[in-house]
Amino acid sequence: MAIDSKVIGALRVLTQVLTDDGRSFVLIGALVPQLLIDLRQGRESPGRVTRDADAAVTAANWEDFDQMRGRLFKTGFQQGAAPHEFLWSEEVRIDLIPFGPGLIEQDRLTWPGTGIVMNTLGIEEAFQCAQPEELAPGLSLPVVPIPALVLLKIVAYQDRPEDRKRDLIDVVYCSEHYEEDLEGSRRFNVAVTAVDERPVQYEEAGAFLLGFEVAKLAKAKSLVAVRKFLDRIPDEYARPISQILYEEQRIADNGGRRRELFRLFRVFAAGLNAGS
């Protein structure tokens, strides 16, 4: 399913402003799986279609970011409810996360006068490994690859575990569908691997490959954050798994999906260890 035309319109304007400013930026967030998994694999996932987009953008300091904000307002963007939210036609929301040495202190971004603090681990990796992708005719922009997206989602979830449950859904979706149905898929090469004395199945192999790639791109502090997240899931009744079941509307799950999810994270962890 194609990216919403109104989102494309907003991203065209955003890209023009940031390009004219000479800024580096990278598309992150829920739009990335739609682009790199659903559209690339021809997958129909109407429930995942979004009119929200997220991007990290370079800024020297808060004054510099405010100047960029002013240029966006002149093109038609409006301020959203939060300082990082920009609305386009009241139907599209773009979250912009500024990133630069003059803004970050101890891997934290503190928004002035708001009390909002964001963990910035993983953003540096996102800039380093972003690749240009065509979202629509005449619109190409840097997009974070799936492993770096998963790293960002894991970091964001740990910032506010009760508020960021949807990040877990994205992590699971990417783990289940990473490199699925691709010709010559590396998933087949994982079949010889055993996790907890059980061979990794083709359906689970994406999680192993994803963990492997996350380990390869993550910096030391980011890798610590991923391991801390996995430590939260010692068994199938761990809080993150219960949150996923709630979001999937499987509260009355008989145990099958719980076991599937726990196995998925165990295979992801094995891939992470293999890539470290």
3-state SS, one letter per residue, for 112-181: CCCCCEEECCCHHHHHHHCEEEEEECCEEEEECCHHHHHHHHHHHHHHCCCCCHHHHHHHHHHHHHCCCC
Q: Which helix (H) or strand (E) holds 245?
A: helix 239-247
- Higher-scoring residue by pLDDT: 30, 266: 266
pTM for the model stands at 0.94
In this prediction, residue 152 has a pLDDT band, given cuts at 50, 70 and 90, of very high
Q: What percent of the chain has pLDDT over 70?
A: 94
The fold adopted by the segment(s) 5-144 is Beta Polymerase; domain 2 (3.30.460)
The confidence score (pLDDT) of residue 41 equals 75
Phi-psi region of 249 (alpha: psi -120 to 50; beta: other; left: phi over 0): left
Every domain of the chain with CATH number 3.30.460 lies at 5-144
Burial class (CB in 10 A: 0-12, 13-18, 19+), 271: buried
Residue 47 pLDDT > 60, yes or no?
no
State the chain's maximal CA–CA distance in angstroms.
Answer: 60
At residue 73, what is the residue type? F
Q: How far is CA 5 from CA 8, 43, 202, in A?
A: 5, 18, 35
The confidence score (pLDDT) of residue 49 equals 63
Q: Give the pLDDT mean for 82-90.
A: 92
CA–CA distance, 217 with 76 (Å, rounded to integer):
37
- Higher-scoring residue by pLDDT: 252, 108: 108
In this prediction, residue 51 has a pLDDT band, given cuts at 50, 70 and 90, of confident
Residue 1 pLDDT > 70, yes or no?
no
The confidence score (pLDDT) of residue 191 equals 79
Residue 251 pLDDT > 80, yes or no?
no
The confidence score (pLDDT) of residue 180 equals 84
Across the chain, mean pLDDT equals: 92
The confidence score (pLDDT) of residue 89 equals 85
Q: In this predicted model, what pLDDT tens digit does every residue of 159-196 receive, in sequence order? A: 999 999 999 999 999 999 998 876 657 888 887 899 99
Q: How far is CA 145 from CA 128, 149, 250, in A?
A: 10, 6, 29
What is the phi/psi pair of residue 141, to 5°?
-150, 160
